[in-house]
Structure 1
Amino acid sequence: MQPDIEIYLLSCPTERIIRWLEQDFSVIDMHKPSDIVTKLHLEHNGEVIPVTILEKAAGKRFTSIWFDSDKTPWENDTECSKCAFEALECEVRCNYQGWQEDGQEDPDLWWHINAEGEGPFIWRL
């Protein structure tokens, strides 16, 4: 299991992302420290999960969702991406190799899911 989960959504409004999260999580609190950042504390199976939604995280069109916990319902970024794509029907990207202790992963190798399918690709942020 990864220590955290982070995915990137293409052209998906924060309000829509929050509605998706509310389907599987209870929102304990939410605040907007800036125009492009929304911070939440979600509850899932008795665990509190801090989440940061950052608009314009990768260029102007991608929004990052960072689950700062290993207590999410997903084993890794790819599982979360698949769930997000099914619910939101917008392109989703995540780190292909996930987090590894030895740090040998290629930082440019990503996984993407969109209407044409899914697979690995090179994304230079």
Structure 2
Amino acid sequence: MQDLEIYIRDVQPGAVSAWLGAHVDALELNDQDLSGVVKGQARYQGHPLRISLYPGAFGKRYASLVLEGEHLPWRTDLDCARSAWRALETEIRCSPGDWKEGDPVEDETWWRLDSRGEKRVVWN
């Protein structure tokens, strides 16, 4: 099983399902109410895809979106973040993919995608 995870700043109700609906089939995700965890599912290239949206991550301004499946619409978190940024027009963050559990937190950098472009930043 593979997974992708991105963080969406100030996500709006219905925005994630509108964006994902253009990339997957049979989307079942009710993200109109963002007061708690939102679980959903879809299909991508005929394979099941699990979707989890966790509003209130990282100081409540961000929602964590996790996609899990054997086949995913994007190859990397950054590819997913780029697609989300183009569609949602809000700041998106994701892991650069080289951080490992146990690495010092002060060295942890993230990709930040926003109107200023793409940049590696320390999350603070």
Letter in 1 for 2:28: D
Runs (4+) of structure 1 exceeding 3 A deviation are 27-32, 103-107
Matches within 5 A, 1:14-33: 14-30=13-29
Shift of 1:28: 4.7
Query: 1:28–1:90: structure 2 CA closer, same or farther, 3 Å change rule?
Result: closer
Specify which structure has the higher proportion of strand: 1
Letter in 2 for 1:42: A
Letter in 2 for 1:78: L
Q: Secondary structure at the match of 1:78?
A: helix
Letter in 2 for 1:69: G
Root-mean-square deviation over aligned CA pairs: 2.4
Unaligned stretches of 5+ in structure 1? none
Shift of 1:30: 3.9
Q: Taking every aligned residue pair, what percent have the same amino acid on both sides? A: 26
Unaligned stretches of 5+ in structure 2? none
Q: In the aligned structure 2, how far is the partner of 1:45 from the partner of 1:27?
A: 11
TM-score by length of 2: 0.83
Query: 1:10–1:71: structure 2 CA closer, same or farther, 3 Å change rule?
Result: same
Number of paired residues? 120
Q: Secondary structure at the match of 1:85?
A: helix
